Amino acid sequence: MRSETTCVVKPFSKWAPANDLYRLEDKGGWESVSIDPYFISPLLPSGCDPRTLQAVEITIAFRGKELFPRGVADATLSWESSAPILYGLTRRIPFHIRADGEPHTYRINLADRLRWIASGDIQSVRLDPVAQPGTISHLSLKWIPSE
């Protein structure tokens, strides 16, 4: 039996892009022109208990600029919660993504992340999809409830 979760994340079209992320209307993606682009989710419903979540699946396609090698790029999932720290170093999960321009899905286990579990109700999520200039597309985020 799965636990109920109130952690519903809106589609990326409702997220706020920030820090040199520009929408590519004709291609359905975003262009990053800095080394720190990010998206912030709308506020989550009150009572988003991190203990009800087993994992998160993030799908993304990224192609770096020519001056950066293809291969691997760095991404980060961060969160704001009812506890007093905002998107700090203690509330982040770094992960690597492939930088080949194709969509890939990454599953991040949350159940064994003490900082995630102990952070209080999750209020919003921040995704830093890459740390380099390039093109970002096929973004989605899906919570996997605890069983």
Q: Does 30 have pLDDT greater than 80?
A: yes
Q: What is the pLDDT of residue 45?
A: 64
pLDDT at 3: 46
Q: Can you read off the two tokens belonging to residue 86?
A: 């905002």
Residue 71: exposure state from Cβ atoms within 10 A (0-12, 13-18, ≥19): exposed
CB 56 within 8 A of CB 41: no
pLDDT (average), residues 56-83: 78
pLDDT in tens, 80-94: 876 665 555 667 888
Q: How confident is the model at residue 29 (pLDDT cuts 50, 70, 90)?
A: confident
b/e sequence 123-145, b meaning 16+ C-beta within 10 Å: bbbbbbbbbbbbbbbbbebebbe
Cα angle vertex 125, ends 122, 127, to 5°? 155
List, in order, residues 6 or more apart from 119 with CB less than 8 Å away: 50, 79, 81, 83, 91
pTM: 0.81
Angle subtended at Cα 139 by Cα 41 and Cα 82, rounded to the nearest 5 degrees: 20
Residue 74 pairs with which residues in a beta bridge? 96
